[in-house]
Each structure stands twice: as C-alpha cells, then as structure tokens.
Chain A
Amino acid sequence: MLHGRTNYPFSAIVGQEGMKKALLLNVVNPLIGGVLVRGEKGTAKSTAVRALADLLPEIAVVAGCPCACDPDDAAGLCPDCAAAAASGELGRTVRRTRVVDLPVGSTEDRVAGTLDLEAAIREGKKRFEPGILAQANRAILYVDEVNLLDDHIVDVLLDAAAMGVNTVEREGVSHSHPARFVLVGTMNPEEGELRPQLLDRFGLCVEVRGMDEPEARMEVMVRRAAFEDDAETFRTAWKPEDERLAARIREAKALLPLVMVPDPILHTIVTIAIEMEVDGHRADLVMLKAAKALAALDGRDEVSEADVREAAALALPHRMRRKPFQKIGLDGERLAAFGKSA
C-alpha cells in the first residue's frame, strides 16, 4: 500500500500526456480495465501511478472488511459481509480508493490468500487469510515490471480478472471473494513481452519514452530537484493544481452515466475494430468506455468522433493482430486513413 509515502504531485509530471490521460480515464471509469505502460526506464511510469493515489475518489466500504466490500451493493458482498448483512446492519466507513502493490516476487499464497495459521492452531478452525487480491478489490492493482511476473502468479491474476472474483481452492481453504480491480502495469519491453491473455486484460496501453526537447528535460530536472529538496513545500505549491484535477475527476464521474453515444459513433467503433483486425470484443468495449470517459472528462455529455479516435489510439495498440514477433504498437497511419475515409 502506498500511503504514508510522500508522492510526487500528479499535476507536476512534465509531459507524458498519453499515460496521464490513460490513468485518469481509468479513475473516471474503472470498468475500462486498467492500463499497461510500456517504455524505457526513467520515464516517470511508477511516479505517475503512485501520484495517482492522491487523486483517487473516496468510496464507502464495509468497516473492517478485508476486501472493502461496497455496503450498498447487496449482491456483490463477500461471504463474510453477506453473512453479517443477513444478521444485521453492516458498519460503513468512507475512505480513499487505494493503490495496492503487487511485487514481482510475490508468492501465490500472498497473492491469492491462504490458510489462517493462528485460527488453525488456536481454534482448530480453517479460516481464510486474505491476500493481495482481497486488498485489490475496488482498488488499483499496480504491478511494476509486470512482464517479469512469474507464470503461475499471472495465472492467479487471470483467473481473478476474468470474473472479478478470486476463487481460492488451495492449501486447505476454500473461499471466494470479490476482486474487481483496475490493473495497472508498467514494463520495459526490452526485457520480454507479456502473455497474450494478460495483455488483453489491460484496457488501455500507452507507450512512453524520454522527451527530446531540451526544455522539457530541463523542467523535469528542475521540478524533481525541488521535490527532493523539500517535498512538502513542493506538494503545497502543486496542491491547487492537483485539487482542480481531482474536482474534474469527480465531475466527470458524475457526468459519465449521462454521456450519450449517437448511433453513428457506435458504428464508427465497431468499424474501426473490424478494419483494424483486432482480436475479440474487448477492443470495442474498451473503446466505447474510454470514449465516454474522455467526453466526461471534457465536460461534454455526448461522445464525438474525436473521442473515439483518441480512445482507439489507447485501446488498440496491444490488441492488433500481429505477425509473430511483430512489434506491439498501433498502425497510426492506418487509423488516420480510416478516420478520413469514415
């Protein structure tokens, strides 16, 4: 968990607009399914994700529930909360949405959860001890260097991501709990690619690289130095900016359910998916959700062609059908050409 650490202010990150936009869209609509940030080292990937924690909205949770169940969603409660709800009122509390770290070296029992040792020895009872996936429910699950994650941990993630439920059938315990999370991963492609199934679980994908303009590079150094000299002063200076952004996110979230998608726009979305020969339906869905979130962030209640084009650039790069080992990336010209012909 990333609280207690002093985060660099999100608004103070220079450039990297695509990455910042992708992260914000996921805050506006978590159903977009996360973002994969690809790029070389030292491009503010981790900084941005951690900074995002300060912008996340507050949510109501069941007090004391390890998977932060939503007290207003009777059908989605974990077994413990469901039992508690049946016998009385659930305690509720409001707290900020979290960013939960999944370290690359994690073991399966830490990730999925395991048998509670104390309960077993003291009371002779089998009880479930929740793991990282429980904490990740209704949170952002952040995996730095996601391409280095062990295969069997990826399997656990895929299982949970498929239905938003973590089903544990291991080491003497049988338990399941909700595990709906926004998956955010960073990776350096030089160290290897992601498995196709996991790749598809990331709603959006952005490529980041170091900036070329000397002025931007200067600005990065200047701000970083100021932050390292005196983090608190720096944060205070950027606070109004971050607060404006947080307010924009709140408004966008409120607006999102009202955003309309005209029929021709829906047509554009499926036509892009067909023309660009993507695998499966997730591309269409993510494009639609991202386009709506873009409109909402912009304060509009109707999706435009431009929103769809921007959403496509974020939703398609990792879903294009590729020849073996062809580089991951979007055929920008094709997309642009499509935009003109449409």
Chain B
Amino acid sequence: MNGLARRVFPFAAIVGQERAKRALLVNAVCPGVGGVLLRGEKGTAKSTAVRGLAALLPEIESVPGCVFGCDPKGALCPDCRVRAASGPLPSAPRRARLVDLPLAATEDRVAGAVDMEAAIREGVRRLDPGLLAQAHRGLLYVDEVNLLPDHIADMVLDACASGLNVVRREGVSAEHPAEFALVGSMNPEEGELRPQLLDRFGLSAEIAAPREPEERLAVLRAREAFDADPDGFLAAHVPAQADLAERIVQARRILKNVRVPRAMLQLIARLAAEANCAGHRGELAMRRAARALAALDGREDVREPDVLEAAELALAHRRRMQAPPPPPPPPEEEHEHDHEHDEPPPQEEEAAPEDDDSGARPEEREAEPQESGEDAGEDAGEERPPPPEEQQGGTPLPDVRQIFAVGAPFRVKPITFRKDRLARKGSGRRTRSRTTMKAGRYVGSLPDAAPTDLALDATLRAAACRGGRRGDGDGPLLDIRREDLRQRRREKKIGNLIVFVVDASGSMGAAQRMSEAKGAVLSLLLDAYQKRDRVAFVAFRGERAEVLLHPTGSVEAAFRHLEELPTGGRTPLADGLAEGFRVIENALRKDPDTFPVLLVISDGRANAAPEGVRPVAAAMLTAGAIAEDGRVRSLVVDVERKGMLSFGLARGLAEALGADHFHIEDLKAETLVQVLKDAALGGQER
C-alpha cells in the first residue's frame, strides 16, 4: 500500500485456513472488532492472507483532500474541523487502506514529524503525517509483530488505546484521529508477544499447514499456477474476488441492523467467563465478531453458531493470557453485572505488567490449553523421563561414570536484567543497552555539537524548523548550523555471556539429580537461544574442572555437551568456580562490553581440592574472590533435594558469591525471573 503496485496472491484463491480467512473478513466488515493476530509456523501464508485482504477492503466515505481521510461524520482532524465550522464537509468514497508497518520503521515515520519540505520552502511547521495517519479508518499491518521494537510498539499501543495520535516532537505539536484495527502475524518460534500488545488484538487465529494430502496438493497447485503466470491467475480469480468483495459490502450495509438476542448475549458472557478472560475486551470482541459473522451470512440476527465461531476467534489468545495473571493483590475488581447470572465477574486487567508470573490462580492454570504452543519445550514432552524413583540423597558416592538423560525441559520465564547504564556493544536480545558503535537500531536523536553518528533526518528537520533557508539562488538551499546537529541514539539488545558451571560429580548421580539439572540447563539454554545469549560450559568432577565449551553463540553445541556429560567422581567445586571465572575474564578481556553471568548448578558439596586445602573452604574462598571482583553476576541453582537431609551448602555458596540462590524446584515453579529481578538486580527496566 505504501506506494508500489504489487501482484498479490488473491484472497479468494487461498486454500484452507478457514479460521484465519474468517477472522480477516470479519475485520473487513467491522474494523471495530479490533484487528486480528495470525499465529503460525513459518511458510503458512500468514502474510499472503493479510495482504490479499487489502484488495477486498470496501470503499468508505471520507473528506476529499484530507491527508488523514477523515470520516465526514466522525472524528475530525484539526484541518477538517476548521472546514466543518464553515459548512458541511464534502464527502467521497475511497478504499479503506491496509498500511504496512515495517519492523525497521523509525518514530518519525510512524507517528509523523515536521514536514521538512514545507518548513524549508514555505517556512511553516506542519506535520508530515506518518503511518498511523495513513492507517486511520483502515488496518495497520505488522508482519513478525513479535519482533517489533518496544518503542514503536508503545506508539502503536497508545494510538490504539485512544484512537488519537499525539505528536509532540522536534518543533511540531499536532494530534489527529488514528482509529485503526491492528493486524499482526507472527511465528511463535521467534518469541512470544508482549501481553499488552496481545490484548490489543480483537481476534486471533492459529495457522498450520494441513496434513491432508489433497488439501496440500491444492495449495501447491494454486501457488505454482500463480508463480508461473501471476497475471493469468489473477484474471482467472477476478469473479471470485468480486463476489467476496460484494459480500463484504452487503455485510457492512446490514451490519448496523444486526441484533443480538438476549440469550446470545448471555451465551457470550458465559463463554467469556468460562474462558476466565481477563478484562472485558473478550466479550466486546466476541459480540462484534458475532454480528459481523451474521452479517457476512446475510442475516440480521445473531445465532448460536455465530457466537461459537466468534468465541473461537476472540478467546483463544485471551485464554492463553492466563499464565501471567495479575500480581497477588489483584487490581480492583469492577463489578459490572450486565447480565444476571452468577458467574463471578471477570477481572479487569488493563495492560497487565509484562513479567508478572506470581500468584496464578489455580483454576486459571487448569484453563491453560494443554497444547499451548508457547511452551518452548513442547516437542520434548514425549521424552519425559519416568518419574524419579525415590532414593536416599545421602548414599555413598559411586565412583563410576554414568550418563544421565536430559530431564524434560520447562519454560523458563525470561531472565531480564535492568537496562544497562554503560554503553556496551554486541548483539543479542536480552539486555537493552546503549551502544557506542554505529550499529544497533536507530531509536531517536539528541542535539550534539560534534556528532560521531549524525542523525541526518533529525538534523535536517532541526535546520528546516529554524528557518534555515538560504536566500540566494545559488548553492545549497538549506543552511545547517552547529546548533542543528543531532546525534543518533541507537539501541541494541546485547546478549549476555552465560557460563554454565555444572557439577558432574558422583553426588549428582543420586536421585535423578543430574537428569533434573540437565533439564534445568536445557530450559535455560532454550531461553538463551531466544535471547541470543552466548554460552560457555564448564563441568567439574573427579580431580578438576574442564571447559567443555568456550563462549559461543551456538546453543546447540552447548546442548550436545550437556547431553553427553558423564557423571561420577569427587567434587572439585573450587576448581569449577575458578575455571568458570577464568572463561569470563578471558571474554571480558576480549570484549569489555560483555555482560557475564556465572550460573553454578550444584548441591554445594565440595570434597576435592589440591592437597593441604580444605575443599569447602577453598570453594568459599574462590567464591569470595569472584564476588570481590564485582564484574560478574552470579546465580546458584541448588539441586539438593528439599526436605531430606539438607545441608544448605549451596545457599552458603551463593552467599559467598553474592549470588542469587534458587532451588531447582523453584525454577520449575517458573518463579526464577521474578526473584531474580527483585532480589539481585534491584528493580527492573521496562
């Protein structure tokens, strides 16, 4: 839509994916339903379906010449308000738009910025409208929406919530209506969506490739025909497209007459309550979707199948949101008994804090769908080892090497660290940091008389706003002065270097500890993968520690070492710590911007050390030295079984390291992050 004519695979020719198509059609009929999120594996025509919809969007009445395409009967931009004061506004039809928001878009183009050309040529400061203005009364599409940078996502959310875009930057101050439905597509393999953003989507649909040969064949044939002769294919589908477009127009026409009988309203409310939906957006979206579905069917009354279909579209992603419910003292409940039945009122959960994971209500956990696609370890479910046989934790150490299977992984809530104040460089997704290199995402600009990384657009806008136009006909038109210069602000998420120091001594062989420890490491590795952390792997057993894997971005390599890691022998804990720290020191020497984390997985028992040294004392001494150094963030994952003869040695180790201490079972309870952020890092960023 942003300019280029494209040959887009026609919507009417898309085979299967009925739910996604219905969700998109509902939005074309009634944008008020609030957009749709398409989730699915790669290569499943997610964006093809969305872009195909653009050709089917109906024409809407708008004020001719208005850059925002204001609705003559709706919210008006400042210009139209002025015009409306002096008489009725003119009106003409134009096609509703589907506007692409590319991931690399910058703020000035999303929200709008001062119109540089107008400032230079006419000396006026005027808003050059951005994508939010173009999307007004249409759809705003973000492909790979889960990768949208936070600062852009926040702008979109603000506009979504208020229906207004407010620009106060770089010498312009403007606001205009920006009512749009947000359409997103994503592959959950690349990470999940922020809950605030997720909640903004009225509907959602999962897309998966069919496993039926006939259907797959039909997909293959259609696509190959399109690729071989796009124009011929498009021509062949003109009638089908026209039919579909006409159906949308008809549905829009009767939409306002569609009634929702009381019984259907009750059904909607009951379904929302049963799904434990947070907030009322679920019901609202369901009701609107049900009306649009009835209208698409050419009916003016909503029936049960409409509601059930609407529920599938409107509730899937809200039900999923139950995993991170509000923190323990829940926000004030709004008692809005619209309908008299005795379901408890759903809780309002406007913009729940992202990382809250404590205090889950048990019934919500049950409501969580079992096939939850966001469970990072879903594929390994079948590999779950048999339940551990209870053994005594304190059995004598067998000095034989054994290789324990990797325990089942679980989803680790993301470990996040507060925004780093130092300027570091690197590439990763865990910790956001300012970056000194001319790399990283350009997120804004600051005045700087001697910029090293000139923010060209901002500098030009500043010069233009100052009225930096040269009078003489010759030479450059724009006069740029030192005061106009702007430095780019870049931001880049730097990954951490996580050094796993894993106890592989004989004591770990008892009671499936090693299996569990491996499961924990695997879970952390999965998390590390999504955050683009670098990892290193140190194991200690027998007489000494060994670096099995030097820092690498290959989490796979770490996993292979984990899989093959044998267990047995004594516990040279001090050497393990020292070796882990040595790896970090080396990494820091190579790149001082590394953000290192030492992750010790052990029961804390030490029984091996060079002659004449007491093993436990040596470990404590080493731990103290690492803590003293101060450059390393440490964590201790305690694998000692709770409740039995517990020595609490790992806790002591954690204290000496100045580290956070978690029991392996806490990790499973998914509380790691919260504790991490609160305890160790003194507050959180975001």
Contact = CB atoms under 8 A, between A and B. Distances in A.
Interface string B3-44: 111111000000000000000000000000000000011111
Interface string A285-329: 100110000000000000000000000000000010111110100
Contacts of A230: none
A285 B106 CA distance: 35
A79 B3 contact: yes
Interface stretch (A42-50, A151-159, A330-338): A151-159
B4 A176 contact: yes
A170 interface: yes
A90 B221 CA distance: 35
Contacts of A319: 43
A165 interface: yes
Contacts of A218: none
Contacts of A322: 379
Given A79-B3, A105-B439, A172-B457, A151 B427 contact: yes
A219 interface: no
A125 interface: yes
Contact of A120 (B47, B469, B478): B478
B102 A279 contact: no
Contacts of B228: 257
Interface string A22-46: 0000000001000000000000000
Contacts of A151: 147, 427-429, 493, 532
Nearest to A256: B228
Interface residues of A, number: 81
Interface size class of B (residues with CB under 8 A): 35 or more
Contacts of A281: 43-45, 209, 216, 219-220, 223
B113 A325 contact: no
A31 B553 contact: no
Contacts of B117: 124-126
A270 interface: yes
- SS of B interface (majority): mixed
Contact of B219 (A148, A155, A158, A284): A284
Given A82-B5, A327-B556, A282 B441 contact: no
Interface in B362-391: 376-377, 379-380, 383
A178 B190 CA distance: 26
B211 A169 contact: no
A189 interface: yes
A138 interface: no
A215 interface: no
Contacts of A270: 213, 216-217, 220
B525 interface: yes
A338 B56 CA distance: 43
Nearest to B114: A172
B91 interface: no
B484 to A, nearest CB: 11
Given A124-B469, A200-B43, A155 B147 contact: yes
Nearest to B438: A107
B559 interface: yes
Given A76-B6, A108-B104, A124-B120, 6 more contacts: A159-B103, A167-B4, A171-B106, A191-B554, A199-B42, A281-B44
Interface of B: 2-8, 40-45, 47, 51, 100-106, 108-110, 113, 116-117, 120-121, 130-131, 143-144, 147, 149, 187, 189-190, 209, 211, 213, 216-217, 219-221, 223-224, 227-228, 231, 376-377, 379-380, 383, 409, 427-429, 438-442, 455-457, 460-461, 464, 469, 475-478, 480, 492-493, 522, 525-526, 529, 532, 552-557, 559-560
In the complex, the 10 A-B pairs of residues with the closest C-beta atoms, listed nearest first: A280-B43, A192-B553, A282-B43, A124-B120, A172-B457, A325-B559, A169-B109, A200-B42, A170-B106, A171-B457
22 contacts: A75-B7, A76-B7, A77-B5, A123-B477, A124-B477, A151-B427, A152-B441, A155-B147, A159-B103, A171-B456, A171-B457, A172-B116, A172-B461, A175-B3, A192-B555, A266-B220, A270-B213, A279-B43, A280-B42, A281-B45, A282-B43, A288-B220
